[in-house]
Amino acid sequence: MEQTTVTDLHVADGEHEKEIEDQEEAQADIEIWKYVFGFTEMAIVKCAIDLGLANIIHTNGGSMSLIELASTLKCSPSSLYRVMRFLNHRRIFRQSRTSQGTLIYSQTPLSRRLLSHEENNMAAFILLESTPVMLSPWLGLSNRVLEKSGSAFDAANGEDVWSYSSKNVAHSKLINDAMACDARVVVPQIIKGCANLFDGVCSFVDVGGGDGTTSSMLVRSIPSIQGINFDFPHVVSNGVLCEGVQHVGGNMFDSVPKADVAFIMWVLHDWGDDECIQILKKCKEAISKDKGKVIIVEAVIEAEDTKDEFENARLLLDMVMLAHTTNGKERTLKEWSCLLNKAGFGHFNVHPIQAVQSVIEAFP
Mean pLDDT of 224-234: 95
**Fold observed for domain 38-112:** Arc Repressor Mutant, subunit A (1.10.10)
**What integer best gives the mean pLDDT of the chain?**
93
Would you state the pLDDT for residue 8? 62
Active-site hit among 16, 269, 302, 324: 269
> Which pLDDT value is given to residue 321?
96
pLDDT recorded at residue 117:
78
Portion of the chain with pLDDT greater than 70, in percent: 95
Check residue 11 and give its pLDDT.
62
Q: Could you tell me what percent of the chain has a pLDDT over 90?
A: 86
Mark out the alpha helices in 194-302 (DSSP H runs).
Answer: 213-221, 233-236, 273-286
195 pLDDT higher than 90: no
Count CA atoms closer than 13 A to 206's CA, side-chain side.
Answer: 28
pLDDT of residue 53: 97
| The pLDDT value given to residue 189 | 96
Which DSSP string corresponds to 300-329? EE--TT---TTHHHHHHHHHHHHHH-SS--
* Alpha-carbon gap, residue 335 to 61, rounded angstroms: 49
- Quote the CA–CA distance of 298 and 193 in Å, as a whole number: 15
Predicted confidence at residue 9, as pLDDT, reads: 58
Is 298 considered catalytic here? yes
C-alpha to C-alpha distance for 171 and 257, rounded to whole angstroms? 27
Write down the catalytic residue from 298, 309, 311, 361.
Answer: 298
How confident is the model at residue 305, as a pLDDT?
62
Give the residue with greater pLDDT, 268 vs 150.
268
The pLDDT score that the predictor gives to residue 231 is 96
pLDDT band at 3 (very low <50, low <70, confident <90, very high): low
Q: What is the pLDDT of residues 339-364, one digit of tens each?
A: 999 999 999 999 999 999 999 999 99
Q: Which amino acid is present at 146? A: L
Instruction: Give me the pLDDT at residue 73, please.
Output: 97
110-124, pLDDT tens digit by residue?
A: 999 999 877 789 999
pLDDT score at 4: 60
Local confidence band at 83 (pLDDT 50, 70, 90 cut-offs)? very high
> Catalytic residue at 330?
yes
Provide the pLDDT for residue 98: 92
CATH for 186-363 is 3.40.50.150
Catalytic residue among 58, 247, 324, 330: 330
Q: Do domains 38-112 and 186-363 have the same CATH topology?
A: no
Lowest-confidence pick of 1-15, 28-42, 349-363 = 1-15
Report the alpha-carbon distance of residue 117 to residue 186 in Å, rounded: 17
User: What residue spans define the domains of the chain?
Assistant: 38-112, 186-363
* Closest-CA residue to 207 (of 181, 228, 178): 228
